[in-house]
Structure 1
């Protein structure tokens, strides 16, 4: 693979892709220097600040039915604002690697909450520690109101332990299935008794509700607390291997390769769970750039939408259209299907979502009309029922504004149409793609047709 394709691959996987002008700007860098540049541009932290505070939620429980209906409408609007705020940030920020890894942790620590303030708080935890230390990230997530509420640890009390959080902590967040017993789940749940949060969304250890008796967990015994359990899980190399397997599928290939994953786990475990050291190891490894690992991943819906926005500098008169795109494609931010998150891979594509994927680029780039239909998300059902509305097919004007002048001016004067196509697409140009290139009479129509192909769905 030549250098320009390596740089393109790096930014496709470690970010949301490069514009043609951006690729031209850094194509002369070595892979090592390009990786350093990617990290440098993501060194800053820009938190989401869409939701001001938690006060509204504290008053809702006391409200009458009319006020509760108004509150529910307000809540839905806050959720929409948070969603579009994050999409906009991913589409415009220079911190591509940080946002790409925030998206990874958003799915790894999958969580649903009706409190948009808590959702924003958890998202900012993911962002703050996205490139930092996994232990710190895990502790902060475990103490967040969103996760404590979602997995019922607010109800976890001495004498009546709730096992939800303890189970998912092991099964989905750390060592994975097969590496613990039901007894470990029960003892772990006892250790997390008393962990909760107050009305301000701050973590509290309720000492009176904590079981301070001796527990036996993964072969060790003691009067363990929640932090002791987390430390014990991180002492097990199975945790490093579990995280590295998920990251490999996210950044490299859907088909795990044991040799590479073991090498990743050695780095991760040996660095005391330093996420940046792990990522630098992966992004500079020769196998990361092997032909079998390029142009082979189906873009997640959010990657697809954000990549399109970034490539063509798209703005939207009504950003809520982006949520309709997400829903049609099967990935609504802050609404994972369950605590296991979105499965990814080939599950992103079915006959319905593929139709939308192929239609969205030309619609967005031509400010067209697109029909949305389908069943509402389960969390929306109550809201829809209250408003006596049904989700039938709706023709929606996208009202998008790509910046064609900026896109076209970023293309070097002497570059061939085939080279433009190569910069836009991850897979190698085949005969069908070359036919599009050869019959096109202008660059604009060519690129719209190219980004409407199945090949554009791959990175």
Structure 2
């Protein structure tokens, strides 16, 4: 695989794509240098601060009327939009692409769906801060976040009345995976997490000794007066956790079909590095197998990845956050609204017959008010056709309120670059005869680009 292809593949997986100028600047770099550059750009976490009030501190009075209830709900809706837009904007503009790409991974790994967007933002910033750091630190901080304590009911986990929700999901979804613990392990570890709670007034984790079960517990064959931190230590001491996380990351970054040998390598690196995330990612991104043809252009972009990819590539600004959320809803992935505690299943589940139709239509909707291959289709006499097309475009422009910066996109591409080369830059899979025929027919570069990003192949990374 040549350098250009390797760099493009790396940025498609470790980031949200690469612009033409950056790609050609790195054409003589090896993967190690490009990987180092990605980590350097992602050195610092920039927190999101869109939500400034915790609306749970402003509860409605018991005798609140319908208008007051509606007003509070409207405030929550505005917070949700602001938070969603802030993260989409950050992913679409930041240099710290690897950090945001991994924040998106942890957002789904630690899926959480609650109506308090102050807590959701706090959790998102925890995931961003530790996205490339230490998994134990991340896991503990997530487990002690008000969002997760509320979502998995640990706030209701008391001595004598243990709530098993959090303990179950900790093992099933966050660390070991199903089948690597017993029901008794869940019961015993739930007792260890009694007393883990949060203070609603300052939105911080607090340990309540009066709620904690201090009696001995037997967990994974060990007996002691365990507390929650001990349970996390025992779970991480089990190499199955390193394997489980490595498998999920392999599916996210490499291939939906797990390769046991590659995942074993990853688990060794992760476990031996005491669960530091950076050495694990460096191992993946510099492995020969990462760049093999079978691992290139074979993953389906998630809806958020697709939208962010378009935003970055075409410098799109959205005037209306409702539109971005509507796109996410239509495609089946609204940030901060995972379908359940297991998150979005991803992979081939992103595509069905209706969502594929929407996916293929969205690029042209944003870039050209809904029209694909608009040039050369009508004869000059066909005024009715042209008028109807223009009217349709105006309606879409009013509705979508998105502005791509075509000048900026085209400035990054030297004038004499052949159309086929631009098309290959836009797509991860190799060009096929159908796409080459479309590229050769296109009257100008803009029409050609809109055609290419409206192909099924553009859905792959």
Q: TM-score range by the shorter chain?
A: over 0.9
Could you give the per-residue CA deviations for residues 78-103 of structure 1, whole angstroms, max 9, x where no partner exists? 01110111001100000000000000
Moved over 4 A (4+): none
Give the structure 2 partner of residue 80 of structure 1.
81
CA contact (8 A) 2:302 2:350 kept: yes
Could you give the per-residue CA deviations for residues 240-280 of structure 1, whole angstroms, max 9, x where no partner exists? 00000000000000000000000000000000001000000
Give the structure 2 partner of residue 11 of structure 1.
11
Give the structure 2 partner of residue 132 of structure 1.
133
Distance 1:227 1:454 in 2: 47
Could you give the per-residue CA deviations for residues 348-394 of structure 1, whole angstroms, max 9, x where no partner exists? 0011111110000011001349xxxxxxxxxxxxxxxxxxxxxxxx9
Give the structure 1 partner of residue 206 of structure 2.
204
Could you give the per-residue CA deviations for residues 325-370 of structure 1, whole angstroms, max 9, x where no partner exists? 000000000000000000001000011111110000011001349x
Distance 1:41 1:28 in 2: 19
Q: CA deviation at 1:412?
A: 1.8
For the pair 1:254 / 2:253, whether they are aligned, the reply is no
CA contact (8 A) 1:298 1:345 kept: yes
Please identify, of 297-306 and 404-413, the stretch whose mean Cα deviation from structure 2 is larger. 404-413
Distance 1:101 1:169 in 2: 19
CA contact (8 A) 1:368 1:398 kept: no
Structure 1 residues not aligned, in runs of 5+: 370-393
Distance 2:196 2:27 in 1: 50
Distance 2:416 2:296 in 1: 27
Question: 1:450 is matched with which residue: 444, 449, 452?
Answer: 452
State the TM-score, normalized to the length of structure 1. Answer: 0.93
Structure 2 residues not aligned, in runs of 5+: 372-394
State the TM-score, normalized to the length of structure 2. Answer: 0.93
Q: CA deviation at 1:284?
A: 0.3
Distance 2:415 2:366 in 1: 26
Aligned to 1:397, what secondary structure does the other structure show? helix
Describe how 1:175-214 pairs up with structure 2 within 5 A. Answer: 175-199=176-200, 200-214=202-216
Give the structure 2 partner of residue 25 of structure 1.
25
CA contact (8 A) 1:39 1:97 kept: yes
Distance 2:111 2:321 in 1: 24
Distance 2:122 2:61 in 1: 24
Give the structure 2 partner of residue 50 of structure 1.
50
Q: CA deviation at 1:316?
A: 1.3
Aligned to 1:334, what secondary structure does the other structure show? coil
Q: CA deviation at 1:29?
A: 1.5
CA contact (8 A) 2:14 2:97 kept: yes
Give the structure 2 partner of residue 342 of structure 1.
344
Give the structure 2 partner of residue 60 of structure 1.
59
Distance 2:60 2:224 in 1: 40
Describe how 1:166-315 pairs up with structure 2 within 5 A. Answer: 166-199=167-200, 200-315=202-317
Could you give the per-residue CA deviations for residues 415-440 of structure 1, whole angstroms, max 9, x where no partner exists? 21111011000000000110111111
Distance 1:401 1:30 in 2: 35
Aligned to 2:218, what secondary structure does the other structure show? strand
State which structure, 1 or 2, has the greater radius of gyration over its C-alpha atoms: 2
